[in-house]
Each structure stands twice: as structure tokens, then as C-alpha cells.
Amino acid sequence: MTKQQITEAIQACNERGDKAFVPYIMAGDGGIETLKETILFLQKVGVTAIELGIPFSDPVADGAIIQEAGERALAEGVTLRLVVETVASFKDEVTVPIILMTYLNPIIQYGIEEFAEDCRNGGISGLIIPDLPYEEVDLVRDAMTNEDIALIPLVSLTSPPDRIEKITAAGEGFIYAVTVNGITGVRDGFEGQLEEHLKRLKAVSSVPVLAGFGISTPDQVALIGSFADGVIVGSAIVTALHKGDFKTVEKLVNASKNKVPSI
């Protein structure tokens, strides 16, 4: 898939009256051999795209649940290269965009150009690097552009207007709007200015705006989704998959759709 297909998949959801739903999963949690089954299950229940996390020893943006999932994956010997190779092995069965979320160090260790080429050949169409600031994005931009890989930026609640304009102008695929100050994880509520923040982003962005961090219940999916073009759900999905609780996953996905949940 191309990076434009990420944007198009989100827009197609919105045109149907739905909101995009992007689950975050930790690659290799439960063993790398489970990755294909998990991705195809998520695809079947109607997700828009999949954010595929890479386990890392110093995950500064991750809360406890995702850190623990990463530790389980690392204990299974999962690496960035192994994930890319595994996704490539069943790419012809995947019909939704796959977006990798990885820290910068594993990409540098892999080799930036080689990594970008392998992603393209493996059917991966987007990349999120949470510890790569906007000012240093040129480190990887050319390599990703050459292979048609979207560099998806994160925008925080505390970003000033001029910085937001710069980040959104360079955004590809979608803008990842961080809904809380801090790390990922399940939360009971959100900052009072979140609706205004998301509206400001939508006003200046030429690509869709998806909200993520802390969204963990169907009600939150529906509420936060109403302010944005879609949502990203991580910790709640990781927990449900770890427990084999597939009904909870379906309920979360269905909450993004313009219908009463079927379960």
C-alpha cells in the first residue's frame, strides 16, 4: 500500500458517516507466530488501519501496559527486522494499511535506507517515531519519501500554534493528536480543552486528524471520535488481546461506527 492509501482509508470511513478506528498492537506479544492471526482478526472486525508497535528496551512514550507487552515480546526475541520480515510473509492477505510505531534507535541500527526499502517491499505504508522531534525529521524523511512511506507526526496538547502549523504542513497519512499530557495508558477522563485542540488541528491540517493516548472505552471512542476524524486505541486493545478477550476488541471497534454496537 501507499501512504496516500492511509489517508484514503480514513476518508472513506468518514464519508460513510463512521470514524476511523486504528488499534495499536505490540508485535510479538504472545510470540511472533501470533502476529498474522491478530492482524487478520482486526482486519475482519473492521479496523481502518493497524498501528504495529515494535518492542524496545527504553519506551519513553509508553505506559505500563504497553511496556509490559513490549517486555513479553522482547523475551520472545522479537526485533524490528523480524517484524518487518514477518509482515512481508503475509502481506498479500492484508487489505488495511499497516503503520509501524518504533523508536529511532532500532531504525538507525537497521540502516535507515534498508529499513525504508524493506518496509515498502513488506507492505508497510506508514511510520510513527515518537522520539524523533520535528526539527530532526530530515534524518529519515528522504529515505521514507523515496519508498512512499508516510511519516505520521504526533502533535501534543501543549504544542504552540506556530509549531502546530509546521508539523501539520509536513504531515502525511494523518496527524496523530495526543489527547493527554504524558505517556500512553488507560484514563478515566481527558483535558478540558481537548475538543478545541482537535478542532484547531482539523482547521489547519490537510490530512485527517486522529486522536490517541488514553482512549480505552467504547464511550470514549464515540466521544473523542466525534471531535476528530478517528481514534487510536492502544492499552485497552493490548490488554484485551493478551487476555484473549476478542469481544471487547469488537465493542471498541464498533463504537467508532455510526450504528448501535452489535455485541
Active site residue 8: no
Residue from 18, 29, 51, 172 carrying the catalytic annotation: 51
CA-CA-CA-CA torsion for 207, 210, 211, 213, nearest 10 degrees?
A: -110
172 is catalytic: no
Backbone angles phi, psi at 102, to 5 degrees: -145, 155
Sign of CA dihedral 22, 234, 91, 94: negative
Q: What is the distance, to the nearest Å, from the Cα of residue 112 to the centroid of all Cα atoms in its chain? A: 20
Cell numbers for 237: 486493545
143 and 112 Cβ atoms separated by less than 8 Å: yes
Q: E-assigned strands of the chain?
A: 20-26, 50-53, 98-101, 124-128, 150-151, 154-155, 175-178, 209-212, 230-233
- Can you give 173-188 as a three-state secondary structure string? CCEEEECCCCCCCCCC
Q: Give me the residue label for grid cell 488507560.
A: 186
Tell me the HSE value of 215 on the side-chain side, using a 13 A CA sphere: 32
Render the burial of 225-244: b for 16+ CB within 10 Å, e for the rest.
bebbbbbbbbbbbbbbbeee
Cα–Cα distance, 185 to 105 (Å, whole number):
23
Q: Given the residues 15, 18, 33, 62, select the one marked as catalytic.
A: 62
DSSP 91: G
Active-site residues, by number, are 51, 62
